[in-house]
Structures are given as C-alpha cells and as structure tokens.
Structure 1
Amino acid sequence: MNIIDRCWRRHPNWSANRQRLAMCSVGFAGKMLQNRGREVVSYTVTDPSDDPVNPRPGTLRFGTTILKGKVWITFQKDMNIKLLQPLIVKSFTTIDGRGVDVQIAHGAGFLINKASNVIIHGLQFHHIRAQPAGSVRDPEGNLVDLGGDGDAIRLLAAQKVWMDHNSLYRCQDGLLDVTRGSTEITISNNWFRDHDKVMLLGHDDSFAEDKNMKVTVVYNRFGPNCNQRMPRVRHGYAHIANNVYEGWREYAIGGSMNPSVLSQGNLFIASGKRKATRRIPGEGVNSWNWKSVNDAFLNGAFFKAVGVVNGLAPYQKVQSFPVANVRDVTTLTRNAGAIRCSIRSRC
C-alpha cells in the first residue's frame, strides 16, 4: 500500500473511526485536521433523490449545502444519485463513500466554490452532463441561478481540498477542474479513464491569480483511453508523482502561461503517440520549468524537460511524503479509484 492507504486501510475497524482518514492526506492539501473532532456532525445519506431548491433531509444535497457546521457524510447503502443541478459543497465537509457503491451519474456534478477543508472520497462519477441554468439553494440559504457545463468536479477559488479514491470517466466536459485561484489541493488514488479532457489546473491564460496555485497529483491511474490533460497546467505549480499513464492520444502532461511542473517517479506507457508533454505557446515559453526526476518510459515514451525546478516540491512537514521508486508504482496504484469493500472488514 502507498503511504496514504497504509494510514487507514490496514485497520480492520476503520469504519468505527472514520475520522482517522482526515489524518492520512499528503501533498499540498496537508492533513485535513479541521475535518475531524467532537464538533463534527455525522450525517447519513438515506435518500438518493435530489431537489436543488428545497433539499430534503436524508439527501446528499442537504448534507453538503444546508446542514450547518462541520459535517462528515456517509451513505446508508449503495445508491445512484442523479443531480438535477450542480451540487454545492460547503467548507468543512467530508463526503465518505467507503463501504458502499455510490455513483454520481447522468446529471450534474460537484461544485466547490470559495470553500475550504473539503474531502471527497470513494465515489464514482460518470456520464455527467451539462445542465441549463436553474435555481439552486446555496449554503447561505439564498437561491442562485446555476448551471452545469458537464464537469464531474469543479473547484472555483477553493482551498485545502483533498480528492482520494474516486473513479471518474465518460463525462461531457472535464473530469476535474481546479480553477480561479484554487490552491492547496491534493488529488490522490483516483482512477481517470475513458475520457478526452481529463484534468485542468488553472482557469485561463489571462487569470493571473492562478500563479499561486499549488497542486499535488499522486498515486493516480490515468487510462485506458485518455486523450489529454493529465493534467493541463496554467500559471501555477504541479507536483506529479508516482502516477501510471496507460497511453495518451494527444499528450499526458501539458500547459501554458509558464507553469512549473515536477514529474517524479511516474510510469509513462506510450500507446501510439510517444511524446508525453505539450507546452502550448504563450507568455514566457522560453523560461518554463518542467523537470522529470526518476520517471520511467515504456514503448518509446519520452518527457521533454525544459528549464529547472529548484529542489523538490516546497512542502511543509505535514505535507511532505517520500516519493517511491518508479518500479513500485504499478503496485502503489493498483487499487486506484473507488474501493469496493465491506464496513465489517479491511478495505
């Protein structure tokens, strides 16, 4: 197991102490200690229906948007949830899908807007579709006009968010967007597959606030059948470590607007196109810093490095983690995605 999984999966009574998970994150999100404690409200989703205007108790939307304070959300049973409008996830919310099969599908996705201290764990997102604008109740109780563009998970000006052990595939737009000044994000143990534009880090070329963006992408599985953006980075800094890339049609890692990228201990397996990187022309193209450290390349794959990335990721002590040898990466990512396990046994 990788360092995140070892923290909680080796405990057979993990379901009796679910909040232990908040101590297991690494990377720029750091430890999610504000998501645990006696003041955290435990909330169980019992109803898979959705009402964006008047969320009913028992539904996922009631727990993520309406319920006050710090909330730890679990699910009573397996369920398929079709969101009629984007689901607004407020600060200090943990959505914990361990022990059941929860699918967010055939409707809208998640929106984390100006929120912090959010954990999304153990869910499956697929066939998310764009939604016309409509009324949605926000965490302040107001009705806002909101539509969805087909992203599975979208972060806007969010901070300290951890997404772990989710499966994401076949959505209309992106699987994961981290935009508009979002930072301190960790994306770990997820399985991204069967998709065109996988992950966007940075809003657009003109949004300079994303220069402060810091994202860790670790222990994820990309593929099969992914085209591009694993991730695509604008302006900010991405530490991409110990991931497996099972081919790409356009590129694996791309970017524009002078981002810094440290690729470390990743396994790139080409299937057709061999070049793993694409730097899109723009500001500072000749001074970019993209570095490959101890990556491995199969089937002719290669990483076009440029410039320097001084040192390794500038982590604080609670964020740091040992990057594993690339020979162990297939083992460390073997259980990427939502884990199907029983609450009565080890995961």
Structure 2
Amino acid sequence: MIYLDYQATTPLAPEARDAMLRWLDGPGGTGFGNPHSAHRMGRQAKAAIELARDQVAALFPPNGRVIFTSGATEAINLAIRGSRPRGEEGGTVSYSAIEHSAVGDTAQDAGKSHMLNVARNGQCNTKQDLPADTRLVCVMQVNNEIGTIQPTVEWHRKAKENNALFLCDAVQAYGRIELTGADMIAISAHKFHGPKGIGALWLRNGVDLHEVQTGGGQEIGLRSGTLSPALIAGMGAAAAEAKDRMEQDRDHVEKLWRRARDLFADWTLNGSEEARWHGNLNIRRKGLDVARLMSEVRDVMFSAGSACASGSGRPSHVLKAIGLSDKQAKSSIRLGFGRYTTLEDIEQAAGKINAAAEAQGL
C-alpha cells in the first residue's frame, strides 16, 4: 500500500515508539506508575512527562507554557470555552471560514460567533473588520484541506488592536514550519509522527483560562485527568525529532511536491501554490467520480477532501469557501505526503490515479 494521507495522520516515528515502550510496562516493570503519585515510580513517570514538556515547548514561541490534552480538539475547546468569562455571555468569537470543525462548531456552541471570509487562494482576508465585541480570533496557520498558509501574524495584530485574544490551530504547521506569535496554540501529536490520543495547548504567559473539564486539576489546574506517560513521552520524542530534521523534511517535501505537480499537470490545483505547505496537494478534475476513483485505487491511501468529513456526502466547506461549486468540490482529491514518502510512492500513485481517472473518460 502507498500512504498519501499525511493531513489525516502521519506514520509513528520509530523514535516516538521507542520512547513509549518503557512506560507501557506490565507487572514486574517500573514504568507503569501514576505520574501524580508521590512515590518513586510516580516521580519517575512525572520526570518523563516534564522532559517531554520541554521537548514539545522547544518548537513553540518563547514565554509560554504547555498544557497536555487528549488532542487538538480538546485543546481548542479549552481555549475557546476556557477564555470565556465565567457567568457572562462574553463577546464574539471570530473565526475563518476554513477552520477545522473543532474551531467552527465549538465557537458556535460557546456563544456568539462570527465567520471571517477567505479569498479564492484560500487565505483569510485581513482587510475585513472584526465585530466590536470580539473577545477571541481564531485563524489556523496551515489549512488541513488545501495547505494554505494563513497570515496569522497580521491576524494576531488585529486581535490585539481589538483587545481580543488570538488562538491559532497549528496542527498542520507544528514541526514543519516556524510557529508565529499567538496567545494560544493547539497541536496534535499524531500529525507530526507522534501517537494518537495526545496533544497540547500552548498558553502565552499572562493568559489565564478557567478549567472546562473539572476533577482533580492534575494538569496545572486547567485539565483534569491522569496523564499518560507513554503517550506524552512519544509526543516529546516526535517533537524532538521534528525539530532536529525540520530542514531535511522540508527539502524532501519540496522534491516530492515538484514531482507530484509534474505528474498531475492535467489537474487543477485548489488553493494557493505559493502560500502553501507543499506536503498538501489538493486537486480536481472536471467530472471526476471520486468515490469510484477511490474504489478502483484501493492500494493508494488518499482523501476525498478532508478526512474528517469523508463519507458525509457534503461538499467540503473549505473548497466551498474559496468559491468552488458543489460539483468542483466533489471532484477534488487530497494527496498528503511527508517524511517517509518516497519519490517511487508518488510516481506509482500518480500512475494508478491518472489511469483510473482516464478510465472514466476524463
């Protein structure tokens, strides 16, 4: 099988797997201790978590703290709900039209919300005004469906001018490009070769939240629940590996991108070619039956739009936001590649996908 769905999840790095094993001990081992216990095994587990916290923090801006969560969805919920004043209706949450549903749905559920429009190239338009009562602005750094890199520096500035906080979903950016300034940043480990089920919210120093998941208050009083040393150690190792080889990974992705663009020259690119993470190739072909294509190319793992909405039957809200019709959105596919993808993978996948598309008479 050829895996080309890196925006949905990434292969677990061997370094992350190795880091996790000690903390998965069974009876007779010493690595299964509760990190919140005061005895020796608990202190050892806690030390592993704090090492990982430092490893994860090394890829964030300075002057902040890392709160471990179950993933980016929980981190986003903590940021949006936890920044709303207790007992008050609060102000408006403004978010871009191409945000992940973890942002859009949570913003709508948490109170007043306002959607920011995007240009045809997929970038959130910085010329538009924010509602006067905006309390939080949410703009992702790299879009998960079309890979567009957003003008987050400008949006952070606009948020500050409106006395609002700025939340950045950096799930697709962390470990790949330098993170820009923000008040809060959400990430998920399995998007940078770490394990599933663990993520983090970075908080700029001076930003205060209230907990939204009550209990023991284990994670700096903001997130209750026993932490997993194994998952966190894996996340830390994946972060350290991403930091060490960021330039190498980026150069590799550029080679894959150039080859893929040549092989899919007859397809139309969705979103910007320049302001984009080049590990994301979202393309369309007029009249393409994507369901049939995926059925006929079963040994290539790719996505019809966003993996989060696959099978819903609805056209991608991201592709609709950049001006595509329902037919154009539904004739689009997304190919995602990265560290462990080879040129041979790209070439073989392109041959199979192009042949299947041509068999549809396209």
TM-score in terms of structure 1 length: 0.25
Q: Which of the two has greater strand per residue?
A: 1
Larger C-alpha radius of gyration, 1 or 2?
A: 2
TM-score between both structures, scaled by the size of structure 2 = 0.24
Considering Cα pairs closer than 8 Å and 6+ residues apart, tell me whether 1 or 2 has the greater RCO.
Answer: 2
